[in-house]
Amino acid sequence: MKIAVIQGPNLNMLGVREQQVYGPMKLEQIHAQMKDFAGQNKLEIEFFQSNLEGEIVDKIQECYGEVDGIIINAAAYTHSSIAIRDAITAVSIPTIEVHISNINRREEFRKENMIAPVCTSSIVGFGPFGYHLAMVGMLQIMSELKAARDMQEQSTQIEK
C-alpha cells in the first residue's frame, strides 16, 4: 500500500512560524515520524510540499492509479480552493485531511472548508500527532476496502 502526503502553503515554515499555534516541530520531523510508522506497517510513503495551488492540484492528479491513499494538509487553500477540491473528487482516492490547529476555533474565515466534504475524513486540532492519527485511519480504511473487495470476489466465485 502506498500513501502520498501532500502539504500546502507555509507548512515548510513549521517550527519557525507561529509556534503558539503550530508548535515547535519542523515539517521534516513530522515526515520522519510518518516514515517510521510507514516502515513499521509495511507501507510506502511519499511526501510533497508546495506553496502553489496548481502544483498541489498536479500532485493530486499524479496520484491517480499510483497511490492507495492521500493525506493532505491543504493549509490556507482549505478555505478557498475549489481546484484542490475538484482534484480530490476527480481521483476518487481515499483522502484524509489534516490540520495541526483546530481551524474551527480560529478566525471566522478558517471555518469555511472547501475540501472536507470531498475527503474521507478530517483530523483537526491534534497538533503534529494528527498526522499519526491520519496514518492509523488510513490503515483502517485500507483494511476495510480490502475486506469489501475480498467479499465481492467470494460472492462472484460463488455465483460462477
Non-local CB neighbours of 26 within 8 Å, separated by 6+ positions = 14, 15, 16
Reply yes or no on whether the pLDDT at 143 is more than 80.
Answer: yes
* Among 22, 31, 77, 131, the one annotated catalytic: 22
Reply yes or no on whether the pLDDT at 8 is more than 90.
Answer: yes
**For residue 84, what is its C-alpha cell?**
484542490
* The 44-49 sheet, strands edge to edge: 44-49, 2-7, 69-73, 95-99, 121-124
Q: Which of 12-21, 78-87, 136-145 is predicted least confidently?
A: 12-21
Report field, pTM of the whole predicted structure over 0.85:
yes
Specify the CATH number for the domain of residue 152: 3.40.50.9100
Summarised one tens digit per residue, pLDDT across range 55-94 is: 999 999 999 999 999 999 999 999 999 999 999 999 999 9
The conformational region for residue 81 under phi > 0 = left, psi -120 to 50 = alpha, else beta, is: beta
The pLDDT value recorded for residue 19 is 65
The whole domain housing 107 covers: 2-159
Amino acid present at 118 = V
* Active site annotation includes 99: yes
Taking residues 98-116, what's their average pLDDT?
82
The residue behind cell 517510521 is 36
Domain total in the chain: 1
* Active site annotation includes 64: no
Using CA atoms, how far apart are residues 2 and 130, in angstroms rounded to an integer?
A: 19
Phi and psi at 15, nearest 5°, equal 90, -15
Length reported for the chain: 160
* Among 31, 77, 79, 99, the one annotated catalytic: 99
